[in-house]
Amino acid sequence: MDTETETLEFQRLDPEAVLPTRGSAAAAGLDLYSIEPVRLEPGDRVLVRTGLAVAIPEGFYGRVAPRSGLATKNGLDVLAGVIDADYRGEIRCLIYNTGKEPIELTAQTKICQLIVERIVTPRAVWAEELRETERGAGGFGSTG
């Protein structure tokens, strides 16, 4: 996936599924649409169906992310969101209402976005010691 002419294959698992779209030609994410109406009370989280499966190429993964508009206007966030290259099940969006008001979304609403990112998959191994760094073991807030 090196050029804009590459394709990303989706399979329709439900007749209500909508092929993902980009908001603009340079948008990083593909908008994913719900296939069912959704209501979330404040503090609720719901797993929303898209009716789609996707074939993420090897060397990449799909990251399911919030949509900026729903996040800023409604406080809607996405909790889980990794789609591995070997997963072929339905894409579902785990959304969370961080706001103070109920949120109602109709079917075929742009619910979240799929961003395809290149990854490195190193093998985990044990080490007796790790190479020293300037930061060392400093944790949260240690760099200012």
Q: How far apart are the first and last CA of the chain?
A: 38
Per residue of the chain (144 residues), what is the pLDDT tens digit?
Answer: 444 558 999 999 999 999 999 999 999 999 999 999 999 999 999 999 999 999 999 999 999 999 988 888 888 999 988 999 999 999 999 999 999 999 999 999 999 999 999 999 999 999 999 999 988 887 777 777
pLDDT (0 to 100) of residue 90:
98
Q: Kindly list the domain boundaries of the chain, sorted by start residue.
A: 9-118
Three-state DSSP at 142 gives coil
CATH of domain 9-118: 2.70.40.10
Are 20 and 114 in contact, with CB atoms under 8 Å apart? Answer: yes
Strand pairing report for 103-105 and 38-40 = antiparallel
Three-state DSSP at 38 gives strand
Are 2 and 48 in contact, with CB atoms under 8 Å apart? Answer: no
